[in-house]
Structures are given as structure tokens and as C-alpha cells.
Amino acid sequence: MNMPVNKSPMINTCGGISSPYHEELWKLNFQHLSGERGHKSRPTFSITKEFILRFNQTQNSKEKEELLELARKIILRCKRKLGLKTLGSGRHVHLPAAWTEVIYLAQCKGEIQDGTYFK
């Protein structure tokens, strides 16, 4: 015995909103789901080759002080990424990126290379 198939009409699941707006919502949802799912962003490094060269070759005392201040901030950021105060736990801890930046910083000559600011 063949039973007839009843096709029910498509129901708007978003309630009483207009059709163009409903289509736009579907597009945004699809873009969001297909674009970023499972993709982890690569850490960006604040230390660049240019920064190291500028730091090592600067003769101007004012510029040297500005670069030293920037290096201090980067060191604080590295300490946070290493999780030194939180015993290595927390969402902010990212050991590979932090150690890479510390290695780059070690190439800066002077007080940074001596380890004065790492304490």
C-alpha cells in the first residue's frame, strides 16, 4: 500500500521577519561558519628584523630610549605569554610565541642582551 507523501510548506524559522532580511541572515551565518571555523590565527611577533637593526645601530640617545622603552613593553608581554606569574596556566599563555620573541630580543645589544630587564 502506497501512502501519499504530504509536503508541508517551508516555515520561516526566524519568526515574523521579511524575506530579504531572512536571506541576508542566512548569508551572514554561512559566511561566519565557513570562514572561521577551526582556524586559529598565527601569533604575530612584535620583534622584527628592522627593530633589531634599528636598536643595535641607533646612535641618537632619544631614539635609543624610545626603542628601549618599547623593548621593555615587549618583555612584559613575553612574561605574560610565558605565564610566569600564573605558573604557566591561562588562556594568555603561548610558549612557542613567547620563546621566539625572547630569542629575538636577545639579539638586541646592551641592557636587553645582558638580561637586566628579564628579572
* Dist. CA 95–CA 97, nearest whole Å: 6
DSSP-derived 3-state class of residue 115: coil
**Segments in the chain forming alpha helices (H):** 19-36, 49-57, 61-82, 95-105, 111-114
Arithmetic mean of pLDDT, 13-32: 67
Nearest to 107 by CA among 48, 64, 44: 48
* Dist. CA 68–CA 66, nearest whole Å: 5
Residue 104: what pLDDT?
85
Nearest to 102 by CA among 57, 50, 45: 45
What's the whole-model pTM score?
0.56
Banded model confidence at residue 7, pLDDT cuts 50, 70, 90:
low
Q: What's the pLDDT tens digit per position in 73-109?
A: 888 888 888 898 888 888 888 888 888 888 888 888 8
Q: What's the pLDDT tens digit per position in 38-76?
A: 555 555 667 788 888 998 998 999 999 999 998 888 888
**CA geometry: angle at 68 spanning 66 and 74, to 5°?**
110
